[in-house]
Structure 1
Amino acid sequence: MADTVTGAASDLHASGDDPSRRDFIHIAAIAAAAGAVGAIAWPFIDQMNPSADTLALASIEFDLTKVTKGQQVVVKWRGKPLFVRYRTEKEIAEAVAGDTAELRDPEKDAARHKAGKPEWLVVVGVCTHLGCVPTFGGGEYGGWFCPCHGSVYDTSGRIRKGPAPKNLVVPDYAFLSDTKVKIG
């Protein structure tokens, strides 16, 4: 009887039904299938990335020597107008004074420009209400005024009056030199 049990155990290993070997084959097959699915899916996922011409528009460089103090230049960026404003000392003082006002979208003037360069303000020139383009110099706060629905922004681009819910958007930008800024 002891021989029968020992013989049956040796027949089990001889036929190749070792559990650890079977588990390895299953794991290897699953890993190969996952790799194949990834190799098939990657081209479909990769084609959703933006095209090269769109990426080229993602950032622009602008020469600041084209703007005089108290002037604003409108640049097209990502299909939207971008206001690059060289603020006067009076405009900066008005913007800083507005830090203590009750604002719908509270944000200090210092957070809306790069440290050390408060004279330069770069904002996306699209009203946050319905996407109109505001004009500079309108309204009682000396900043931008959206004639479509009456939104009034101050000299820091913060909403002060009207239906717009948010401040004018400040894009990511960095000064490459004293005369050049990279936006985006």
Structure 2
Amino acid sequence: MATASETKATRRDFLYIATGAVGAVGVAGAAWPLIQQLNPDASVLALASIRFDVSPIPEGSSVTIMWRGLPVFVRHRTAAEIEEARAVPLSDLKDPETDEDRVVPGHEQWLIMIANCTHLGCVPVGESGDYDGWFCPCHGSHYDTSGRIRRGPAPKNLVVPPYEFLTDTVVEIG
């Protein structure tokens, strides 16, 4: 015949639970600084995005700004440059991408690209080359007025960073 036995919590059981809880809190307290040091530094977070006023840039010229330690071209394109870029058939491009995909709708006159050649990371020279866009003198890559590779060893177009216009003249990159 089975009898129901009553189990009583003993002082030893309490000590096991209390020791385990204190140990868990101690491990968590020691692990927190190690996990926290993996977060980005405040200086890195400050560079995550920048705001830039494009109003002083005259039509037909460009400026180079720094974002996350990289040079970025901000080009105020003319209507002729936009028309020329849109007239290029995709079959003529090594890395097919339309001009419309490289700009923000409503702000087609502004072209914003990371200023590193996609071949070996050199900085191309603006308003030069066979297509009046950018030319990388290191290895001879030619980019058109939309920053698309047209000739040379570079495999890809100049990279367009994530950006948005906050107002008609202020753009936030990043």
**TM-score, structure 2 as length reference:** 0.84
Contact 1:92 1:119 in 2 (8 A): yes
* CA RMSD between the two structures: 2.5
Letter in 2 for 1:153: Y
1:163 equivalent to 2:153? Answer yes
1:43 equivalent to 2:37? Answer no
Structure 1 counterpart of 2:60 = 70
- Structure of greater Rg: 1
Instruction: Name which of 156, 162, 166 aligns with 1:176.
Output: 166
Contact 2:124 2:134 in 1 (8 A): yes
Matches of 2:165 and 2:118, distance apart in 1? 26
Matches of 1:15 and 1:178, distance apart in 2? 75
Unaligned runs of at least 5 residues, structure 2: 9-15
Letter in 1 for 2:136: C
1:57 equivalent to 2:47? Answer yes
Local SS of the residue matching 2:88:
helix
Contact 1:74 1:84 in 2 (8 A): yes
Contact 1:125 1:168 in 2 (8 A): yes
Once the two structures are superposed, residues 79-117 of structure 1 have per-residue CA deviations (whole angstroms, 9 ceiling, x without a partner) of 111100000011101111124333222111111000011
Contact 2:90 2:97 in 1 (8 A): no
Matches of 2:103 and 2:33, distance apart in 1? 41
1:118 equivalent to 2:85? Answer no
Structure 2 counterpart of 1:22 = none
Q: Say which structure is richer in helix.
A: 1
Aligned CA distance change for structure 1 residues 161 and 40 (closer, same or farther; 3 Å) = same
Structure 1 counterpart of 2:13 = none
Structure 2 counterpart of 1:19 = none
Letter in 1 for 2:6: A
1:138 equivalent to 2:128? Answer yes
Matches of 2:38 and 2:31, distance apart in 1? 12
Q: How big is the shift at 1:120?
A: 0.3
Local SS of the residue matching 2:87:
helix
**TM-score, structure 1 as length reference:** 0.80
Unaligned runs of at least 5 residues, structure 1: 17-24
Once the two structures are superposed, residues 109-158 of structure 1 have per-residue CA deviations (whole angstroms, 9 ceiling, x without a partner) of 11100001110000000111111000012221111000000111111111
Moved more, 98-107 or 72-81: 98-107
